[in-house]
């Protein structure tokens, strides 16, 4: 079975292709012998080896408001609308 890594102009692997036959192209690297070709997605090819990208640092999760805070905010919003005659009034 044939397996190729497709590179973009920056030599980054953007796709893994499993064609029925042999392919040729400057942006195609034969990875048929690679143990796990799909793991190469996002890697950079330096002409001989694939350099795997470092995973991004996880970002701190934003704390969500409690249900009480959500109710208070909604109540304040509705009150402000009523006071400006935006809803429910004449």
User: pLDDT digits over 30-88, tens only?
Assistant: 999 999 999 999 999 999 999 987 766 777 777 888 999 999 999 998 988 888 876 65
pLDDT score recorded for residue 90: 55
Name the pairing type of β-strands 4-7 and 28-30.
antiparallel
**Tokens read off for 43:** 């890697």
- Give pTM, 2 decimals: 0.58
The β-bridge partners of 50 are: 45
Residue 26 has pLDDT above 80, yes or no: yes
Measured from the Cβ of residue 40, the count of other Cβ atoms closer than 10 Å reads 19
**Tokens read off for 21:** 């036959």
Residue (of 31, 32, 33, 26) closest to 7 by Cα position = 26
Domain ranges of the chain: 4-51
pLDDT score recorded for residue 56: 65
User: Residue holding tokens 């292709």?
Assistant: 17
Confidence class for position 19, pLDDT limits 50, 70, 90: very high
Distance of CA 17 to the CA centre of its chain: 20
pLDDT score recorded for residue 3: 95
Q: Over range 17-41, report the average pLDDT.
A: 92
pLDDT score recorded for residue 89: 54
């Amino acid at each position: 079975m044939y397996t190729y890594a497709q590179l973009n102009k920056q030599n980054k692997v953007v796709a893994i292709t499993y064609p029925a036959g042999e392919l040729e192209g400057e942006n195609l690297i034969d990875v048929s012998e690679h143990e796990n070709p799909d793991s190469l997605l996002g890697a950079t090819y330096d002409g001989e080896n694939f350099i795997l990208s470092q995973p991004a640092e996880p970002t701190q999760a934003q704390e969500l408001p409690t249900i009480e805070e959500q109710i208070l905010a909604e109540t304040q919003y509705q009150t402000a609308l009523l006071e400006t005659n935006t809803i429910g009034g004449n």
